[in-house]
Chain A
Amino acid sequence: MGIACEKETMGRYIARRLLWLLVVIFSVSVITFVIAHAVPGGPFSREKKLPPAVLKQLNEKYRLDDPLWKQYVEYMGGIFIPRLTSGEPSTSYLEDYLINIPLGEYTLRWMNFGPSYKSQSRTVNDVFRENLPVSAELGFYAFLVASVIGIPLGIVAALKQNTWVDYIAMGIAIFGVSVPVIVLGPVLIWLFAIRLPIFLPSGWGSWRAEVLPSIALGLGSSAIIARLTRASLLQVIREDYIRTARAKGLMERVVIIRHALRNSLIPVVTVMGPIFAFLVTGTFVTETIFGVPGMGRYFVTSITNRDYPVIMGTILLFAVVIVIANLIVDLLYAWLDPRIRYD
């Protein structure tokens, strides 16, 4: 009974959080939409001025002449309202659905995030389909690098506090925080792709191209994680229950791993959620330096290009990922600290 009850509470908790996700998406979409359109300049304002007639044609094509509320409703409708269509998919970049479920002679089409105004032969869904997996893969590797380096480094530093081990570990961490990718990236490329051609200076799809950007991207985050792990572990080690565990005569290794570490990871996991969300949705600088065809570039260029559908798509995606990452973090709390309950 107890277990079933607990499970139900957990299920309800997750359901409630996912409902909140809808509220988040709604708020983020309204704010983003309004701000994006409020900024002066439009997608078609450029150095070589377009003749008014052409501008009018383009605005008509993308319905930018409609009132703002109507544009918003149409855009969000395109994403959330499923459509039942028959026949071949549209040949227009204006209609590209992320989800296409064949139902006999009809097809259920859902989630049209719109075209890109700048890359005229791309849609936001193309970016999700082709660029997002690359960013996610890079982010995942970088996250692994960050965790695998960061957590052990923090533990070692805490356990050997104020010894040379601690100083070296924290020296590495400070180096990681203070040397940005924009410096580290070219140095790594020059050393390991040009001087010693072990890796490729750019690209994606082979391990030779993937190692350097993963390290460059992961190192900064590993430093944050290392410092946080150290500080948190130092605090936990001084707690009464650790002293109790030691007094019981448990082996130091068991005390640290079973009792101290698990509790000290709570603040670490808290920051790892957003770090994960940031890493997997694309990082502009790393992707640019290493020529990784991810979606980081779209976050930045969509804004400078006033590419409204791309702005909306990337921001909504980011919102969803960060909400889900935080949800996972919250669920991890319960595992790390049995005192935390969801009801």
Chain B
Amino acid sequence: MSSRKVVVALLVLLVVIIAVAAWFFLIRGVGAPTVVKIGKIDPANLPAKETLSSALFGAGDIPTLDPSLAEDTTSIQMGLELFVGLTRLNEETAQVEPGMATEWKVSDDGLVYTFTLRQGIPWVHYDREAGEVVVVKDEQGNPRYVTAHDFVYGVKRTLDPKTGSNYAYVNWIIKNAQAVNGGSELGDQDPLYGKVDEIGVRALDDYTIEYTLTQPASFFPGIASMWINWAQPKWLIEEKGDKWIEPENIQSYGPYVLGDWTHDVSATLVANPFWPGIDSVPKPSIKYIHFTMLDESPSFANYEAGLADVAGVPLTELDRVKADPVLSKELSINPEFCTYYYGFNVTKPPFDDVNVRKAFSWAVNRKAIVENVTKGGQEPARWFSRPGLTAAPDPAKGDDFGPPAEGDPVKAKEFLAASKYGGADKLPEITLMVNQVEGHVKIAEAIQQMWQETLGVKVNLVTQEWKVYLDTLDSDPPQVWRLGWCYDYADADNFARGVFRSDSGNNHTRWKNEKFDQLVDQAAVETDLQKRHDLYVQAEKILVEEDAAIIPIYWYTRVQVTKPYVTRTYGLGGHEAYEKWKINK
């Protein structure tokens, strides 16, 4: 072949290449790609360097991925990676940060909130067969971007009585929501019942959402971060019904997409290549997050065997972990937004007398309980709203009230002497009831002994199975009982007003205090953070000191071990922001 022919051939080839390239670029257009190849996922063989294996879920399947129905930590944790609310709670500070909304405005009367939405964030789906993350298209073949309508649909679906959402009541603060949801006094006879279009939420345009509230609520941006208010894919839910959350169907838009969900075994998240990354929710660094659904002890065994990168520590192992030279360095004990407490039935003698209640509260040595009984690094609680919640009283801010951490036997005896009963021998028979769980019984026995030693009072300890116990608390609360409370939204409002306002369904004390109600109502609408904090201090003082309606016992902690090659943040509320974690292998 002559060299000329070679040159011609090369020229022809070049022309062909240019033509093909031109066809691709000019005629088909260079729109944004709508498919990213990930490869098929084999949950048992994920690449170790790109995978974080988390053993922080407990045993049992993820109850649901439906934002309207989620109510447990596991479901919500999954949701936080798949969806992003208008706002996002910072997992370490519990402060409200912009999420899908770039900004929001409040009307002068505090009733109307207007959120402006981020643009160009598409709904995506992981196609397991093709191993690709695909942008969802509408009927015309255009990418579906998350719009205000999707958010409005989510709110309405949550409040629709047909959905049966357990958390819908948090949204009753939106205009007409309570009546639509069936929560008004008329129930399903209310003319608004089921009429979701009457709810005070609407899309002003594709990227603006307006909420109208029934009362000013400074914590509303926090509520806007909650799962019940996330955007939901109407087209998909209408087509697939209940099963829209299954891995073959689900569409989402957050930092991760659902790669695999083997029910009862594991779930795998894949970094969403279409998530642009924002300040509060960055583009994920770790490609795969693999969750195993195992009980605490096999989770921890997996961690020790090097098969999990992060796990909770079973209480029985904690002493060993603390003593172990390697494990002790990987251990972290962090606050969790929950409070463990005993309540009094203030209508039953002798606890109808505030001095008896105070005597019983001051006789409890909380420090001894967390150090010798629970041993999980919990903090002795002196009031109900756990420090770290927005506006909650905080010892770090110098708040100092309530029963002392070590108790005060001298004062306890004085209180009992000052009561109308005068002394231990004149008290009626007293029953303390807890649900039948070993940990609760141990604590109850320790407290029983403290009351015996300090006050000379013999208290009967009765246990009941959990659901029976809940029925008892509802129908006829015993003289003293146990419960815990964990946050829904990280604000003192969720604790003080949510549990102990006199009309709260969660208040089993039968204690009512008008001044307390006024203070927590006022704190709910106040916008100045310092003023809100001061109001909660006053309210809590009434709850745990003046009226001593409850005995705060401890504030929860989360005890975990993390491999040293993982850089991570520590979620306060039991939820982790995996999109911020890194693996340095």
Q: How would residues 53 to 78 of chain A score, 1 for a CB under 8 Å from any chain B CB and 0 otherwise?
A: 11011100100000000000000000
| A49 lies within 8 A of B466 (CB) | no
- Chain B contacts with A in 480-535, Cβ cutoff 8 A: 483-485, 488, 505-506
* A53 near B241: Cβ-Cβ < 8 Å: no
The answer to whether the Cβ of A186 comes within 8 Å of any Cβ in the partner chain is: yes
B-contacting 9-mer, from A38-46, A158-166, A235-243, A255-263: A38-46
- Known A121-B63, A194-B304, A206-B44; judge A41-B298 contact (CB<8 A): no
Please, which residues of chain A bring their CB within 8 A of the CB of B59?
Answer: 288, 291, 297
Name the residue on B nearest A197 (C-beta). Answer: B305
Given A56-B188, A57-B162, A61-B164, A290 contacting B169 (CB threshold 8 A): no
Asked if A91 contacts B241 (CB within 8 A), the reply is yes
Q: Mark B273-294, 1 if CB is under 8 A from A, else 0.
A: 0000000000000000000111
Q: How far is the CB of A311 from chain B (nearest CB, A)?
A: 13
Q: How far is the CA of A46 from the CA of B72 in the complex (A)?
A: 12
**Which of A50, A56, A288 is close to B187, meaning CB atoms less than 8 Å apart?**
A56
Residues of B within 8 A of A291 (CB): 59, 292, 294-295, 298-299, 302
* Known contacts A39-B468, A61-B164; is-contact A202 B302 (Cβ 8 Å): yes
Report Cα–Cα, A293/B165, bound state, in Å: 28
**Would you give the 0/1 interface string for B22-42, flagging 1 where the beta carbon is closer than 8 Å to chain A?**
000000000000000000000
A56 CA / B166 CA spacing, docked (Å):
11
How far is A39 from B505 in the complex, measured between Cα atoms in Å? 22
**Number of chain A residues close to chain B: CB under 8 A:** 53
A203 CB to nearest chain B CB (Å)? 8
* CB–CB A47/B241 < 8 A: no
C-beta contact mask, A152-177 vs B, less than 8 Å → 1, else 0?
Answer: 00000000000000000000000000
> Given the complex of chains A and B, what is the CA–CA distance between A49 and B3 in angstroms?
87
Asked if A131 CB lies within 8 Å of chain B CBs, one says: yes
Q: Please report the C-alpha to C-alpha distance between residue A11 and residue B66 in the assembled complex, in whole angstroms.
A: 52
A120-B302 contact in complex given A47-B483, A52-B187, A91-B240, C-beta closer than 8 Å? no
A57 to B469, CA, bound (A): 23
Chain B residues whose C-beta falls within 8 Å of the C-beta of A289 in the assembled complex: 295, 297-298
Task: Collect the chain B residues with CB atoms within 8 Å of residue A186's CB.
Answer: 297, 301
Known A-B contacts A92-B242, A206-B44; A306 and B467 likewise in contact (beta carbons under 8 Å): yes
| A206 surroundings in chain B (CB, below 8 A) | 44
Select B506's contact among A39, A42, A48, beta carbons within 8 Å.
A48
Asked whether B64 is an interface residue with its Cβ less than 8 Å from the other chain, the reply is yes
Residue of B nearest to A89 (CB): B243
B505 touches A49 (CB 8 A): yes
The interface residues of chain B lying within 8 Å CB-to-CB of A54 are 164-166, 168-169, 181-183
Which of the residues A51, A58, A131, A189 comes within 8 Å of B264, measured between beta carbons? Answer: A131
Contact A297 B60 (CB under 8 A): yes
Alpha-carbon distance A288/B296, docked complex (angstroms): 9
**Contact across chains for B182 and A53 when beta carbons are under 8 A apart:** yes
> Chain A CB within 10 Å — which of B66, B262, B305 has the most?
B305
Are A120 and B467 also in contact (CB < 8 A) when A49-B505, A54-B169, A126-B263 are? no
The distance from the CB of A134 to the nearest CB of chain B, in whole angstroms, is 9
Report A-chain residues with C-beta under 8 Å of the C-beta of B181.
51, 53-54
**Whole-angstrom distance between the Cβ of A43 and the nearest chain B Cβ:** 9
A154 to B186, CA, bound (A): 72
Q: List chain A residues, Cβ under 8 A from B301.
A: 186, 189-190, 193-194, 201-202
Residue B547 interfacial (CB < 8 Å): no
Give bound CA distance, A177 to B169, whole Å: 52
A304 adjacent to chain B (CB < 8 Å): yes
Write out the residue numbers on chain A whose beta carbons fall within 8 Å of the beta carbon of B60.
Answer: 119, 297, 301
Max chain B Cβ within 10 angstroms of own Cβ: one of A58, A93, A119, A121? A121
Q: Which residues of B contact A (CB under 8 A)?
A: 44, 59-66, 69, 161-166, 168-169, 181-183, 187-188, 240-243, 245-246, 262-265, 292-295, 297-299, 301-302, 304-307, 465-472, 474, 483-485, 488, 505-506
**A and B contact pairs by CB, cutoff 8 A, 22 listed:** A40-B468, A41-B466, A41-B468, A41-B470, A45-B474, A47-B484, A48-B485, A49-B506, A51-B169, A54-B183, A56-B182, A58-B164, A61-B164, A90-B241, A91-B243, A120-B66, A121-B243, A193-B305, A194-B305, A200-B305, A201-B304, A289-B295
A-B contacts besides A49-B505, A194-B305, 7 pairs, CB < 8 Å:
A47-B470, A49-B506, A51-B181, A54-B169, A121-B245, A190-B301, A291-B298
The 4 closest A-B pairs by CB, nearest first: A41-B467, A91-B241, A53-B182, A291-B298
